[in-house]
Structure 1
Amino acid sequence: MRIAAVPLEDRFVRLEPFEAGLREAVRAALDCDAEAWAGMVGSAQGEHFDGWWDAALAAMQAGTRIAYAVRRRSDGAVVGTTSLYEINPAYRRCEIGSTFYRPEARGGAINPACKRLLLGHAFEAGAVRVEIITDALNARSQAAILKLGARAEGVLRKHKITWTGRARDTAVFAVIDDHWPEVRDGLDRRLAGFA
């Protein structure tokens, strides 16, 4: 499995791998909604952005992450970020995460479009498993993940420490290659419903 760091796009979004020219657009997109950041493992808001950005680039250099700026196609605005990360070629698995969208970009086509592109890219590269994890306290995120077609696999207790110091339980979801055609078709039907 080799997942290439290339742009991905459909009629709703263009996912652009991080590079220096995107830094300020991503910073501006993420500098909002302090309440949402409070539940994340790491923060990219305000003073935390530079360290977060540098860590993302280092992980890209190491081949364990592909961090993307999410550009909304309708107006060209960068409205968030998402990543393929914890990339493990030996086990043919990765995760989708480090996802944050500006509030006005939530609840429409942006998230399912991003997930459709990322899942397709990973499975086309030979992945057999793609995980999506979230805070066990985040019911909204869990509902969104289930709506994508991922299957719930359980909760890892005290799995991560958030940037605020809280020991976080993590709800684990996954799509495996056996289920990808069904999930893909469901996402395609869902996206076809957006104008």
Structure 2
Amino acid sequence: MSGQPMILEVEPLANRFVRLEPFEAGLEAEVRAALDCDQDAWDIMVGAAYGEHFDGWWRSALAAMAEGSRIPYAVRRLSDGVVVGTTSLYEIKPAYRRCEIGSTFYRPEARGGPVNPATKRLLLEHAFNAGAVRVEIITDAINPGSQAAIRKLGARDEGVLRKHKITWKGRVRDTAQFAILDEDWPDVRGRLDARLAAF
């Protein structure tokens, strides 16, 4: 694989818990309904997608998908068929065989169960099968819960990027950065499979 670019196909991804569906016009209403809640959680995010903020966010996600820098997904919980959130592969850099997992939001009732680990399992497998050598996961340095969830995946803590982003409310944020490398993936995959087997 060395020297070959990473090629991430835009396609649905599924396991027994979730189906990740790339954004398209037919999903807009379901995604809007999934994200229109929990304003407090949105307040610390870089961008907001609830209420009146949704339309601009949706257009931006589709534009980034069209230019190849992002694949935004609706996260459909298979136990009831409901779209419970969104996630993305983004900052896609084929020449460097690198991308990020992020722009993730789940409805409160979908947090803490199999949805997030099942989603991360699919995204990581998709990236590494496509030739990635590095997948980054970043979060706000003031969000310990998110950082704990990322560490639980087996991602390596790489430190804090100071004054890295500005939230939609104007706060200059520090970013906690994590990464999983291709050589880490077998161990991370085993951890995720063990966690998911418990559900």
Deviation at 1:136, TM superposition (A): 0.2
Deviation at 1:123, TM superposition (A): 0.1
Deviation at 1:70, TM superposition (A): 0.2
Q: How does 1:11-50 map to 2 (within 5 A)?
A: 11-50=16-55
Give the counterpart of 1:125 among 120, 124, 130: 130
SS of structure 2 residue aligned to 1:165: coil
Deviation at 1:158, TM superposition (A): 0.6
Give the Cα–Cα distance (whole angstroms) in 1 for the partners of residues 22 and 46 of structure 2.
Answer: 21
What do residues 59-96 of structure 1 show as CA deviations (whole Å, max 9, x unaligned)? Answer: 00000000000000000000000000000001100000
Give structure 1 regions of 4+ aligned residues with deviation exceeding 3 angstroms.
Answer: none
Task: Give the corresponding residue for 1:141.
Answer: 146
Q: Pairwise CA RMSD of aligned residues?
A: 0.4
Give the Cα–Cα distance (whole angstroms) in 2 for the partners of residues 141 and 43 of structure 1.
Answer: 17
TM-score (norm 2): 0.97
Task: Give the corresponding residue for 1:73.
Answer: 78
Q: How does 1:1-195 map to 2 (within 5 A)?
A: 1-194=6-199
Gaps of 5+ in 1: none
Instruction: Give the percent of matched residue pairs that are identical in Structure 1 and Structure 2.
Output: 76
Give the Cα–Cα distance (whole angstroms) in 1 for the partners of residues 119 and 10 of structure 2.
Answer: 15
What do residues 156-186 of structure 1 show as CA deviations (whole Å, max 9, x unaligned)? Answer: 0010000000001000000000110000011
Give the Cα–Cα distance (whole angstroms) in 2 for the partners of residues 162 and 74 of structure 1.
Answer: 34
Gaps of 5+ in 2: 1-5
Give the AA of the match of 2:185.
Answer: W
The count of aligned residue pairs is 194
Give the AA of the match of 1:138.
Answer: N
Deviation at 1:20, TM superposition (A): 0.1
Deviation at 1:47, TM superposition (A): 0.5
Give the AA of the match of 1:144.
Answer: A
Give the Cα–Cα distance (whole angstroms) in 2 for the partners of residues 90 and 155 of structure 1.
Answer: 25
SS of structure 2 residue aligned to 1:182: helix
TM-score (norm 1): 0.99
Give the Cα–Cα distance (whole angstroms) in 1 for the partners of residues 8 and 73 of structure 2.
Answer: 13
Give the Cα–Cα distance (whole angstroms) in 1 for the partners of residues 75 and 94 of structure 2.
Answer: 25
